[in-house]
Amino acid sequence: MKDSFILGLLQNISVLLAFSFIFDYFWTRNESRNTFVNKVLAGIIIGIATILLILTPWTFKTGVFFDTRSVLLAISGLFFGILPTVLAMLIAALYRLYEGGAGQWMGIAVVLSSGTIGMLWGRFRPNWKKNPTRELIWLGFLVHLVMLGCAFLLPFEIVFHTLEKIILAVLIIYPLATILLGKLILKQIRNWENKIALNISEERWRFALEGAGDGLWDWDAETGKVFFSDQWKNMLGYASNEIRNDLSEWKKLIHPDDLERVLDHVEKMQNMNIEYYESEYRLLCKDGTYKWILDRGKVMGVDSLGFAKRSIGTHKDITERKRTENELKESKEYLNSILSTIPDLIFMFDKNGLFVDCQVSENSNLFVPLREFLYKNVTEVMPGEIGLKTLRAIDEVIRTGKQVNFEYDLMLPDGSNCFEARLVLFSNDRVLAVVRNTTRAKEAEIKLRQSREQLKSFAAHLQYIRENERQLLANEIHDELGQTLVAMKIDLGLLGNKVNKMIPESKLEKVLPEYE
């Protein structure tokens, strides 16, 4: 009898396991299981499984035999609900009635009580899945405790003898079978729910990636096969059937100048030197042009040797970003080249007078080294009144929005230097200061002023000399000419006297008409 009990128990366990797989395939994975037809079909399948259990019993006595129908129907009531379980109970009860025997009423009572307790447990303890092990223990114990009570429906003369023989199996093995079958089915349900959730998550992920214009790749390193999404191929202008899902296809598209660097990154990821992979490189498009791609990947599985066996990642078109970056870089270099050639010092202050940025040429003569004043307040760096004057100017610029200019002198290693500062509003809380060293300009201005004064003195002295020369010349002309004229007049007088003596008076007027 012991051997028949063990054999019957093993057969029942086999049927229960088969039922769990049928449940997983036809119920857990069936999205339309809640329809009336599917519930009826499930009830028929459970009823047939119950009959199979009845057909593989442990026979205690002719007409009195035991099986694990109680386990199956209790689990059915808990997981399948009312309609499938009631239908299965009806099929099992009718078959047990058909078989007859001294234990038929006990068998029918076990069928009805087990399924009913399972349904009531699921109905009034809806949160049983939060602690399934404890709940299944109590369910199995209660179902089979009631089963022992059903033994009183046996003929009186065998009731106590039967209870003596089955009580340990019913209160120990049967509850354990209930726990194991319930946990197995629950695990199948959760596995399927996790798979569905994973599929939904992957669909959302793919939708999000494709909505953002990103392409998806999935690389199986063991086979060398790579899945490229349609968006991955379309990004480069290819149709879905124009690129094979093979790693070599991807390698052929990489720009020759980028190939070595990219493959080096891939090798590091393959060897698990890096878990996350990120690289920017160019891929060949169908039209012959190249697009800049941001390639990101992550290792999803590792083999027994510690190498990556599966990786997954995305491709993002960053061509426009690269173009913008290059233009910005060129613009910045152009601006820096201009700023580096001008002698002015350019500083950026926040509203509190903190140095936040600067642009100075290499030859700029600063009061303190650059590293010592960045992110410090101007009053901490500039001496005394100069710092306060700068702080007041910053406040005025922010308050009025108008440009403020001021000059100051500062002692540098090469001596006293003059500076001119012009402060303008850069943003709501930033002020731009352009500072120019005016020392040489001041010195040149002083020299120019001195030169002008010298020129004025020289011009005045020259005029004085000219006036003196004119006066001297005039004096000389007046004196010498007067003397000459007097001499000439004397000579003419003498000549006139001689003429008067030599020419008769009647002819004298014709000779000297003007003299008279």
**Cα 221 to Cα 343: distance, rounded to the nearest angstrom:** 59
**Cα 193 to Cα 31: distance, rounded to the nearest angstrom:** 11
For residue 424 the two structure tokens come to 């303008």
**Is residue 422 predicted with pLDDT exceeding 70?**
yes
User: Which residues fall within 8 angstroms of residue 413, CB to CB, at 6 or more apart?
Assistant: 365
**Is residue 462 predicted with pLDDT exceeding 80?**
no
Find the largest Cα–Cα distance for the chain: 219
Please report, for the chain, how many H helices and E strands are present, in that order.
Answer: 16, 12
- Beta bridge partners, 423, equal 404, 433
Q: Which of 42-46, 419-423, 463-467 has the lowest mean pLDDT?
A: 463-467
**Cα 244 to Cα 76: distance, rounded to the nearest angstrom:** 49
Select from 490, 489, 509 the least CA-distant residue to 499: 509
- Does the global pTM surpass 0.85? no
Q: What are phi and psi of 358, to 5 degrees?
A: -155, 160
Task: Give burial (CB, 10 Å; 0-12/13-18/19+) of 359.
Answer: middle
pLDDT band at 18 (very low <50, low <70, confident <90, very high): low
pLDDT band at 361 (very low <50, low <70, confident <90, very high): low
Q: 404 or 443: which carries more pLDDT confidence?
A: 404
**Cα 484 to Cα 476: distance, rounded to the nearest angstrom:** 12
Tens of pLDDT, residue by residue over 311-348, are: 888 888 889 888 888 888 887 777 667 666 666 788 88
Tens of pLDDT, residue by residue over 41-82, are: 878 888 887 887 777 766 545 444 567 788 888 888 888 888
Are 77 and 123 within 8 A, CB to CB? no
- Cα separations in angstroms, 76 against 32, 187, 336, 510: 18, 15, 79, 178
Exposed e or buried b per residue across 298-327, where buried means at least 16 C-beta atoms within 10 angstroms of its C-beta: bbeeeeeeeebbebbbbbbbbeeebeeeee
Are 57 and 67 within 8 A, CB to CB? yes
Average pLDDT over the chain, rounded to whole? 78
Select from 343, 443, 433 the least CA-distant residue to 387: 433
The stretch 79-88 carries a mean pLDDT of 88
For residue 263 the two structure tokens come to 């493959």
For residue 379 the two structure tokens come to 């009053």
Q: Tokens 């569905």 correspond to what residue? A: 196
Rg (CA), the chain: 58
Q: Residue 152 corresponds to which amino acid?
A: F
Q: Tokens 């002692």 correspond to what residue? A: 411
pLDDT at 207: 60
**Cα 148 to Cα 171: distance, rounded to the nearest angstrom:** 9
Half-sphere exposure in the Cβ direction for 113 (13 Å, CA): 20
Q: 137 or 441: which carries more pLDDT confidence?
A: 137
For residue 514 the two structure tokens come to 């003007």
pLDDT at 183: 83
**Is residue 304 predicted with pLDDT exceeding 90?**
no
**Cα 287 to Cα 282: distance, rounded to the nearest angstrom:** 14
**Cα 421 to Cα 436: distance, rounded to the nearest angstrom:** 7
**Cα 417 to Cα 345: distance, rounded to the nearest angstrom:** 14
**Is residue 20 predicted with pLDDT exceeding 50?**
yes
How many residues does this entry show for the chain?
Answer: 516
Helices (H), 152-212: 156-168, 174-211
